[in-house]
């Protein structure tokens, strides 16, 4: 049974590109010398391999057959529904995470109910390396597909897959990657992010803080770490400025003169309108510009909030060197970014790499500190906001689920599914410690070693 707070089932409808009528062949597959079997029975060995020998949740298949947890019924009020044999074909031809992702995005597989608890349960029971598992489980998948008369080519991949071209982390390819993620429609982002239009981890200073209050608290924390509260009229560069929220906060609250840069045309246009509506056009300039093209300017402070994940390890040293050159002596940089222990590249063999953040990379915070120091920064503060990002993501998923039909009308069912899965899965990653997020504060000392920093954190640690 569906839970009250879950979105309407995300299986395909009549107005979707791939309709149930297109799948009529599934009801009467080509003749096979193999006896037909129920889907649950045919796929049980394959599912057991995927889930390390356990069935922790209820599975319902297109033919009415089911797989249930053994023993005590699962406490998770959610169901994994496999709506079509196409799911088997997709996994068969792309073993591992990509095949599963295609099945979910297309609507062949649906999580109906509490998606956080479902993903947490699956994360605890599934085999970790889906690529290697997928190849090992291929014989079981083949037997299951053969038993279902499903040994045919899969449907085409969902159109939402990203396929950027060009040299990795070249300016042209980075622009493609950014456009794939951010140019999906400002109305959709407004629906998910809420009035703050801030797409980064909030800071919940109080247990009952709203998302909008927490985002303002995050912006104020960054302003204070950068010393903007003590220097009216300071010149701030906001790298990856998004829809202008940080720029507007710094200018309106502290009188900063701000340059914001982004590679997203949709973001730049929206941010400029917000700046004009706020009456801050004389203080804020929004540019459609790559940070690598910033030359010959000087700033008192730089904020980079949720942009560093797009830089890549091959460009990290250059990134910090460029930002160092742009700062005056005693100028400060606040780098706010998702991290992972040991670092990780988001490859095309992953759901996130194919559908969310193509070419993204997460750095180990230790490597970030080293790179900043090698570029000439003195590290002054490091703060983790891991638990805050989980709560932020829960709020975004709640926004999406509460306005599900509107979201589907804006971006289509497939992209809405991408976002629901991506945000919920990320929240689970922050909960279990697989993902981290850190604010790293660095300063450019003067020629005589002066940092211009306060003696304590009292100005922002409250």
Residue for token pair 């809420």? 194
Q: Residue 100 CA to chain centroid, in angstroms?
A: 18
Average pLDDT, the chain: 87
Quickly list DSSP for 324-390.
HHHEEEEEEEEEEEEE-TT-EE--TTSHHHHHT-TT-EEB-HHHHHHHHHHTTPEEEEEEE-HHHHH
Binned at pLDDT 50, 70 and 90, residue 37 comes out as low
Q: Is the pLDDT of residue 417 over 80?
A: yes
**Average pLDDT of span 375-394:** 98
Cα separation of 124 and 189, whole Å?
31
Does residue 219 contact residue 249 with C-beta atoms inside 8 Å?
A: yes
Total residues found in the chain within this entry: 462
Residue for token pair 């996994």? 91
Q: Is the pLDDT of residue 105 over 60?
A: yes
pLDDT tens, 182-211? 778 899 999 999 999 999 999 999 999 999
Q: Give alpha helix (H) positions in 183-309.
A: 186-193, 211-225, 245-254, 265-277
Of 49-53, 108-112, 273-277, 448-452, the range with the lowest mean pLDDT is: 49-53
Q: Is the pLDDT of residue 433 over 80?
A: yes
For the entire predicted model, the pTM comes to 0.86
Label residue 449 left, alpha or beta by phi (over 0 means left) and psi (-120 to 50 means alpha). left
- Our CA dihedral for 15, 20, 24, 30, rounded to 10 degrees, sits at 120
Binned at pLDDT 50, 70 and 90, residue 76 comes out as low
Cα separation of 250 and 235, whole Å?
10
The pLDDT value recorded for residue 369 is 98
Residue for token pair 């959610």? 78
Binned at pLDDT 50, 70 and 90, residue 170 comes out as confident
**Average pLDDT of span 153-179:** 85
Percent of the chain scoring above 70 in pLDDT: 87
Binned at pLDDT 50, 70 and 90, residue 127 comes out as low
Does residue 286 contact residue 268 with C-beta atoms inside 8 Å?
A: yes
Cα separation of 136 and 66, whole Å?
24
Q: Which residues pair with 286 in a beta bridge?
A: 260
Q: Is the pLDDT of residue 125 over 80?
A: no
pLDDT tens, 326-357? 999 999 999 999 999 999 888 888 899 899 98
Rg (CA), the chain: 24
Higher pLDDT, 18 or 366: 366
* Domain boundaries along the sequence of the chain: 20-147, 171-443
The pLDDT value recorded for residue 29 is 38
Structure tokens at 216: 């303002």
Binned at pLDDT 50, 70 and 90, residue 38 comes out as confident
Q: Is the pLDDT of residue 9 over 70?
A: no
SS3 163: coil
CATH code given to domain 171-443:
3.40.50.150
Binned at pLDDT 50, 70 and 90, residue 74 comes out as low
The pLDDT value recorded for residue 147 is 76
């Amino acid at each position: 049974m569906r839970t009250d707070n879950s979105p309407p089932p995300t299986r395909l409808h009549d107005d979707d590109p791939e309709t149930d009528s297109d799948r009529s062949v599934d009801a009467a597959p080509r003749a096979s010398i193999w006896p037909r079997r129920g889907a649950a029975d045919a796929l049980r060995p394959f599912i057991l391999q995927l889930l390390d020998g356990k069935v922790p949740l209820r599975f319902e298949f297109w033919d009415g057959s089911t797989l249930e947890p053994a023993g005590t019924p699962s406490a998770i009020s959610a169901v994994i529904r496999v709506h079509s044999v196409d799911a088997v074909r997709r996994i068969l031809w792309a073993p591992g995470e990509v095949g599963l992702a295609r099945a979910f995005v297309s609507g062949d597989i649906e999580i109906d109910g509490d998606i956080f608890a479902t993903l947490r349960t699956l994360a605890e029971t599934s085999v970790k390396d889906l690529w290697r598992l997928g190849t090992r489980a291929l014989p079981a998948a083949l037997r299951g597909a053969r038993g279902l008369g499903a040994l045919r080519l899969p449907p085409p991949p969902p159109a939402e897959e990203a396929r950027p071209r060009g040299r990795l982390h070249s300016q042209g390819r980075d622009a493609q990657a950014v456009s794939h993620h951010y140019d999906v429609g400002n109305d959709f982002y407004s629906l998910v992010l809420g009035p703050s239009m801030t797409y980064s981890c909030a800071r919940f200073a109080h247990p009952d803080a709203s998302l909008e209050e927490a985002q303002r608290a995050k912006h104020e924390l960054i302003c204070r770490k950068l010393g903007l509260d003590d220097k009216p009229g300071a010149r701030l560069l906001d790298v990856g400025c998004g829809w202008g929220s940080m720029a507007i906060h710094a200018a309106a609250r502290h009188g900063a003169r701000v340059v914001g840069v982004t590679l997203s045309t949709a973001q730049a246009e929206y941010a400029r309108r917000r700046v004009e509506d706020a009456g801050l056009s004389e203080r804020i300039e929004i540019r459609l510009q790559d940070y690598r093209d910033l030359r010959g300017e000087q700033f008192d402070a730089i904020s980079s909030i949720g942009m560093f994940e797009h830089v890549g390890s091959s460009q990290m040293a250059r990134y910090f060197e460029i930002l160092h050159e742009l700062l005056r002596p005693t100028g400060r940089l606040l780098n706010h970014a998702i991290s992972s222990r040991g670092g990780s590249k988001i490859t095309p063999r992953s759901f996130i790499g194919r559908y969310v953040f193509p070419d993204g990379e997460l750095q180990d915070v230790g490597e970030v500190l080293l790179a900043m120091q090698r570029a000439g920064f003195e590290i002054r503060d490091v703060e983790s906001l891991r638990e805050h990002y989980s709560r932020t993501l829960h709020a975004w998923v709640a926004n999406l689920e509460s306005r599900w039909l509107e979201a589907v009308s804006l971006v289509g069912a497939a992209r809405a599914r991408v976002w629901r899965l991506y945000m919920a899965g990320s929240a689970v990653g922050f909960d279990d410690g697989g993902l981290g997020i850190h604010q790293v504060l660095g300063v450019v000392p003067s020629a005589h070693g002066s940092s211009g920093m306060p003696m304590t954190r009292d100005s922002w640690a409250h």
